[in-house]
Amino acid sequence: MKNLKLLLFAAICAATLLSCEKEDPFQPATIQGTWVFSEANTGTQWKELNIDKIYYFDGAGTYTVKTLKSGISKVTFYNGKVYEEESSYEQTDTKSYTVKCAGDKYKFESVSGEFVLTASVDGKMTFAFSSSASEVKGYKLCQVSQFGKSVTPDPPTPQEPDEPEGTSINGTKLDESNDLVGLVTDSSTKKGIPGVVVSDGYDCVATDANGVYQFKSNSLTRLVYISTPSEYAVPVGSVPSKPEFYKSVKPDGTVIRTDFTLTPLADGKETNWTFVGIGDPQCATSSNASRYSGETIPDIKKTTAGKKSVYAMTLGDIVFDSTDMWPSMKTSMSSVYNGAWFIPFFQTIGNHDHDSLKPDTSDDAMDDYVATSTFEGVFGPCNYSFNRGDVHVVSMDDIIVSSKKSSSKSNKYTWSYSGGFTDKQLAWLKKDLELVPDKANKMIFVCCHIQFRTATTNHYPDVMRLMTEFKEAHLMIGHTHYTQNYLHTSYKTKNGMSLYEHIHGSACGAWWTTTSSSTVTGEPSGYTVYDIEGPHIKDWHFKGTNRSADEQLRVFDGNEVYYQSKYPLDWYTASQKVGTYTFTVKGNANYKGCFVATVFNDDNTFWKVELRKKSTGAKIGDFKRVADGGSTNIAMSAFYYNEKNKTTDSYCSKTASHYWYYKPASGMPADEDDWEVVATHTLPAGDVVHTYKCSTLTKQSDFSKAFYY
């Protein structure tokens, strides 16, 4: 053995160690990888507290290591420097161990006795240990098993002997001006991975040919994290499992080394995979969280059953100004398994996820930094990216907080805010996208909370321009509590398609209203499922929670007047009052005498709606679509104001219209028979066509059905 370096791993070993049977002195044991060495050689099953030290033998030299009071901490020491630590350990003394090699003996000078090499074949060493000439003890080396899987943690590759301590990693010389450094290795090959993007939320760099990254931290740096390459599995933490591609750091003027290990996907990058977009869980109470974990999460699992590669993204407002809900929400989206397949839930921060218990300093930039600290402590960075297949996924915070105001939720406060990005965020995004190879043949998802739709300030146009460098580009948005599809026709991607904005309806519907499950434009609470093929969305559909995937529309009688005894509302009156409240509910005169169809996830480009004979399929006529802003969902508004006693204009939103109308010759939809409304969705590339049908009228009497609205 040419070199000998000592590396101490004091790691949590939550699973069973390999059995160690009692041996005679000098009984040989094979060293390969990382092993536990202990005097507790009793011949019984080894337990956590038996572990004194964890050594890695691979080279000569003199190193300082810190011993621990227990072996149950998670901390890695290399050349006396901590490069991965947790708070659950206690340090004791620091000792220098000088290792000398003399023939077939390896001696630790600060430990009485010698290690005697008995064999060395193909890099595997066998040795025995004697503590003194008169006293010989039998020792056994046992490989660590961690979290139920046999692992041999890969230590940092030793520095060249002629390099001073801390000046290089894995053959890469470190620049003295950089304080964030580290190595990204492949768990299978144990080699550094080139081209992995590493960030602290302010700067982005790619690892070099040796798998090494280095850059100068920002004074506000809290996390260091990677943009997971397509060929590797998303790193996850221990149970409960969730994506953990980041590590906490605190720049203090010294060099901070943070290493990452990635596991290659067994079948290479996932060319075909599924993305689940979830708008606004927005849980304010434990009952809200119970409904989310008991209704939404199981429905996602059921819908994606049979799909192997599934990744979910929550699009902001995970909680509702209720920091006491973070533990429940974290648990609900951790360790989600669909059979053997683990579904990672990534997170995007929303306005109500900005912690309003943090102080208002009147410095907007600092307010935003402090207000995001709780979210980052629970779920990781607010601005990050990862790669799946031929898709680059970016999640960003597009909330700029300004001041606080009172709230009825548990925090008692909420932040006032505007939508957009800071100069620093835009600079970060540019650096991240510059490091994406072959953008013209890839697709990009940018996930944010507040809609881009008609925004012209705060860097929204800049972000969209950057997205046009890709073959296909989609914005994934929440916030509004209604679905809407919006084409940004002024922004064309490399394949000539318009940038597509998907505004997702909320998982909580109209804020988890008791015994109801509707968004503010009448479609069910739910989420959207996207099937990805290469750099393209092959297919997608809106999925109502606990509803059939084919339930995509409802049909109403445009002549019906709802709740005539309390607050009567109808489809055809343009401006209607709700009692003495100041707001109005907007109908549309065109609805009089018509079938009115509400199509949950429609748009005015890729959908058509027809009336046909149910018996023969013969076409009767084409529905016309009301422009956005042209109407409220009258039936839904009538239900919330009359049955649920709502008192604000949130329940008569008209921004996004999903309403189509057709007038039969009789002008009496309720008297018609042998009819069927057929809605057809042709996806933008034209490669998938969905047809949905409805042949019954929804009436006021239907509203009393559980979870109808």
351 token code pair: 């306005």
Q: Which of 502, 527, 544 is the C-terminal boundary of a domain?
A: 544
Q: What is the pLDDT of residue 44?
A: 31
Please classify residue 525 by burial: count the beta carbons closer than 10 Å to its beta carbon, then call 0-12 exposed, 13-18 middle and 19+ buried: buried
Domain count, the chain: 4
Question: Is 510 contained in some domain?
Answer: yes
User: Do 563 and 535 fall into the same domain?
Assistant: no
CATH number at residue 214: 2.60.40.1120
85 token code pair: 């630590």
CB 356 within 8 A of CB 321: yes
User: Do 608 and 464 fall into the same domain?
Assistant: no
**Residue 96 corresponds to which amino acid?**
S
Question: Is 709 contained in some domain?
Answer: no
Q: Cα 128 from chain centroid?
A: 49
Question: Is 587 contained in some domain?
Answer: yes
Q: Which of 203, 227, 262 is the C-terminal boundary of a domain?
A: 262
Q: What is the pLDDT of residue 339?
A: 82
User: Do 463 and 562 fall into the same domain?
Assistant: no
Average pLDDT per 10 consecutive residues for the chain, totaling 709 residues: 31 30 33 33 32 36 33 33 36 38 39 44 45 36 30 43 70 96 96 98 97 96 98 86 94 95 94 97 97 97 94 98 96 91 96 96 88 96 98 98 95 97 97 98 98 96 98 98 97 97 97 91 97 96 96 98 97 96 97 98 96 98 96 97 96 96 98 98 91 98 89
Q: What is the pLDDT of residue 123?
A: 42
Q: What is the pLDDT of residue 62?
A: 33
Angle between the N-to-C axes of helices 423-434 and 460-467, in degrees from 0 to 180, rounded to the nearest 10 = 0
Q: What is the pLDDT of residue 159?
A: 43
User: Do 92 and 55 fall into the same domain?
Assistant: yes
CB 444 within 8 A of CB 470: yes
Instruction: Provide the residue range defining the domain that includes 121.
Output: 6-150
Show the CA angle centred on residue 688, arms to residues 687 and 692, nearest 5°.
Answer: 155
Q: Which of 508, 524, 544 is the C-terminal boundary of a domain?
A: 544
User: Do 189 and 84 fall into the same domain?
Assistant: no
CA distance 665 to 611: 12
CATH number at residue 409: 3.60.21.10
Question: Is 157 contained in some domain?
Answer: no
- Residues, the chain: 709
User: Do 210 and 286 fall into the same domain?
Assistant: no
Kind plus residue range of the DSSP H or E element containing 93: strand 91-102
User: Do 256 and 291 fall into the same domain?
Assistant: no
Question: Is 417 contained in some domain?
Answer: yes
CA distance 220 to 23: 54
Question: Is 1 contained in some domain?
Answer: no
Question: Is 161 contained in some domain?
Answer: no
User: Do 328 and 453 fall into the same domain?
Assistant: yes
* Contacts for 698-704: CB closer than 8 Å, 24+ residues apart: 698/554, 698/555, 698/556, 698/635, 699/557, 699/560, 700/560, 700/562, 700/563, 700/635, 700/638, 703/635, 703/639, 703/643, 704/643
User: Do 534 and 573 fall into the same domain?
Assistant: no
CA distance 598 to 625: 10
- Phi, psi at residue 424, to the nearest 5°? -65, -40
User: Do 125 and 228 fall into the same domain?
Assistant: no
CA atoms within 13 A on the CB side of 277: 28
User: Do 579 and 693 fall into the same domain?
Assistant: yes
CB 248 within 8 A of CB 83: no
CA distance 507 to 333: 13
Question: Is 160 contained in some domain?
Answer: no
CA distance 169 to 160: 9
User: Do 349 and 483 fall into the same domain?
Assistant: yes
Q: What is the pLDDT of residue 241?
A: 85
